Amino acid sequence: MTKVAIIGASGYTGVELARILCNHPHITLTTVTSRQHEGSPLSRVFPNLHKKVDLICENLSAAELCSRADVFFTAVPHKTAMDIVPQLLAEKKKVVDLSADFRIRDVTVYEQWYQKHTSPQFLQEAVYGLPELYRDQIRSARLIANPGCYPTSIILGLAPLLKAGVIDPQSIIADSKSGTSGAGRSALVGSLYCEVADGFRAYKVADHRHTPEIEQEINLLGGCNVNISFTPHLLPISRGILSTIYARLDDGVGQDQVRDLYREMYDNEYFVRIMPTDAFPATQFVRGSNFCDIGFKIDPRTGRIIVMSALDNIVKGAAGQAVQNMNLLCGFPETAGLEGAPFFP
């Protein structure tokens, strides 16, 4: 059994990692850290884990951590990740980093949207952990930059069209809607039940930090150099992202050809499910699972294709994809620990 640790276990991504890992057949979760809850059983912080995870939250040095595990999930804010990850790598550990710190290959772009990068030497080495695009590189990597939740939904939705060159990348508009768990477990007025429930709004319009991450992968896939429109919204649900993506489709490209492109790319991808014709994805049908459901509609009146992509933001958009990456890193079956069907209702 491979020994695994979660650094930063007291957020919603942390608890979801623990939920998935506690039933994983090939690993043992040995360590969970939390500065805030140091000394408390994780199952007191998150009573859902009672009888499932029997670990105390610790606050450990990098050296102590390295004695505990071989694979690490860093579920800490960006900037904090930058500090801890190099220390783990120096001890030959494998790391799946769930922050944004190693996702952007161009340090200038990173620093423009985030802040000064103190470990830019790892930016080229880190593999962007989207297995559907980078499976082989992930297998042999030691540092995985686990993708953002919005980027996962948008990139998976567009990849077949971009690779085939059938849409105009310049025309891409991604209108995304996320559940509130994406805002984290910080005690902020804007995340209170009464502020979010029975309501809906956009935020960080034309200004969200996932934009350069989305653009990086779109430009790599499409062999282009474009800026796209990306608008995040806050949904009154706990889990789930739906991205509605618009692009101008090349003349003469029809329903069958597009369907074939999706099939070609995803028929062997277990975690991507293509919807039947004229059925559209819904967040409630991926809830709690690592699936990304994709549907599309061609609108001959406007010459646009509308792609819809749904996933659970803390599973395929975070913890589940991280475990999928660990499985590849460690040579486990890719679906290990991730076989649970979505729960509905």
Site for a copy of itself in 298-317 (CB under 8 A): 298-299, 301-302, 304, 306, 308, 310
Tokens standing for residue 7: 């650094």
**Choice from 115, 197, 225, 263 touching a copy of itself (CB under 8 A):** 197
Nearest residue (CB) to a copy of itself, 181 versus 324: 181
CA 212 to chain centroid: 15
The yes or no reply on residue 269 touching a copy of itself (CB under 8 A) is no
Binds a copy of itself by CB under 8 A, chosen from 8, 131, 222, 240: 240
Rounded to an integer, what distance in angstroms lies between the CA atom of residue 32 and that of residue 74?
10
Report angle CA 155, 22, 137 to the nearest 5 degrees: 35
- The residues that are catalytic are 149
Binding residue (CB under 8 A) for a copy of itself from 237, 249, 261, 328: 237
Q: Which amino acid is at 283?
A: T
| Cα gap 344→323, rounded to integer Å | 23
Contact set for a copy of itself, span 280-299 (CB under 8 A): 280-289, 291, 293, 297-299
Nearer to a copy of itself, 219 or 227 (CB): 227
Contact call for residue 108 and a copy of itself (CB under 8 A): no
Pairing of strands 201-202, 229-234: antiparallel
Residue 318 and residue 150 in contact, taking contact as beta carbons nearer than 8 Å: no
Closest CB 108 distance from a copy of itself, rounded Å: 15
198 binds a copy of itself (CB under 8 A): yes
Span 109-138, contacts to a copy of itself by CB under 8 A: none
Least separation in angstroms between residue 345's CB and a copy of itself is 4
Residue type, position 309, single letter: S
By the 10 Å C-beta count (0-12 exposed, 13-18 middle, 19+ buried), 30 is classed as middle
CA quadruple 153, 243, 289, 257: dihedral sign: negative
Residue in 139, 185, 209, 259 binding a copy of itself, rule: CB under 8 A: 185
**Positions in 135-174 near a copy of itself (CB under 8 A):** 173
